[in-house]
Amino acid sequence: MSPSNPSHKHYTHGIRENLYQVSHQLVQVFQVGMTIEMMRSVVPALAKAEFGVA
């Protein structure tokens, strides 16, 4: 595909122009990070306290 392809003329670049997509990506990354942290810290403590699994 060449850069002069008319189907690509409507794309805009930059954070300010794509603030919705950037903020959506940041929220997703935050949620994945929180999920991984929960799996590392909360679940083992819960398993030990509730089920006696070490």
Q: 52 or 20: whose pLDDT is higher?
A: 20
Q: Which amino acid, residue 22?
A: V
Averaged pLDDT, 24-28: 97
This model's pTM is above 0.85? no
Structure confidence at residue 52 (pLDDT): 85
Q: What backbone torsions phi and psi does residue 22 show, to the nearest 5 degrees?
A: -65, -45
Structure confidence at residue 9 (pLDDT): 76
Structure confidence at residue 18 (pLDDT): 93
Instruction: Annotate the chain with DSSP letters as a single string.
Output: --TT-GGGTT---STTTTHHHHHHHHHHHHHHHHHHHHHHHHHHHHHHHHH---
Residue recorded with tokens 């942290």 = 37
